[in-house]
Amino acid sequence: MTRSVHTRIDGHILEITLDNPKANAIGAATSREMNDAFEMFHEDANLRVAILTGAGDRFFCTGWDLNEGAEAEPDRDYGRWGFGGLSRNFDLEKPVIMAINGYCVAGGFELALAGDILVASRNAVFFLSEVNVGLTTGVPSVPRLLSRLPRSVALEMLFTGRRMDAQEAFDLRLVSRLTPDGKVMDVARDIARDIAAAAPLSVRAEKQMVNMAGDLPPQEAARLDSQGRFTMVSRVLESEDAKEGARAFVAKCPPVWKGR
C-alpha cells in the first residue's frame, strides 16, 4: 500500500510531508502514519525540530477525509496522539513548524493550530468548514484558535466557516512569516536550522514552559515553578550544555551542544 506520509531527516531536523492526492485529506490510516512520524520525532534524541507540510503547491491539508466519513462504519482509530499525530499530543517538548503551502482547511487548520510556528505562502487560505458539513471542530482546537486570533474573528470563523487569506493571517499574527508561493519550505528550513543550532535542552525547557504555563497568570506559573513542576528547567541548569554555553561565551567560540 502506498504511504501517504513521507519523512526526511536533515541533521537534527525532521521533515514530514503529507502526500494524499488530491487534497491531502487525512483518513484514519494516514493519521496513524502521522502518529508514527511524530512518535519517531518524540523518541529520537538526535531530532530537535520538525517541519510539517503538504505535498504539492495547492493544499497543506483539507482535514478529515469525508469520503471515509461517509462509510457506514468509519475507522476511528486515529493513533495514540489523535488526529494527525498532534491534536492531542500535549506533552511534546520539541518545536513543530507548520509550512502551510495552500488550503489549510477544517482538521488541516486544526492541525496547524497544534503546531508552534506557522509559516505560510501567499496562496494559503484558512477556514474551519465543519459547521457547513454537519460536523464540529475538535475540542482542543477551540482554545488554540481563541489564543491565536482576536475573539470576534475566531468566533466568526467557528460559526460561519468564513475564510482568511494569507495576508490577513499575517496581519493578525496567526502566521509569523509570509512567503512567496513555492518558498515556504525554504523559510521553514531557515527557522528550523536556527532552532537546531540552539541548545537542545534549553529549547525543550522553553517548550515545556509554553505547554504548561503559556495560558496561566504569572503568579500561577511562579507557583508551579516553586513546586519544581518545570522539570526541564532544573535539568538545563544542571546540564553539561549550561557549562558549555558559558565556556563558549567567554572563549568567543561557537558552543558544541551535547544535549546533556
List the catalytic residues. Answer: 110, 130
What is the SS3 string spanning the chain?
A: CCCCEEEEEECCEEEEEECCCCCCCECHHHHHHHHHHHHHHHHCCCCCEEEEEECCCCEEECCECHHHHCCCCCCCCCCCCCHHHCCCCCCCCCCEEEEECCEEECHHHHHHHCCCEEEEECCCEEECCHHHCCCCCCCCHHHHHHHHCCHHHHHHHHHHCCCEEHHHHHHCCCCCEEECCCCHHHHHHHHHHHHHHCCHHHHHHHHHHHHHHCCCCHHHHHHHHHCCCCHHHHHHHCCHHHHHHHHHHHHCCCCCCCCC
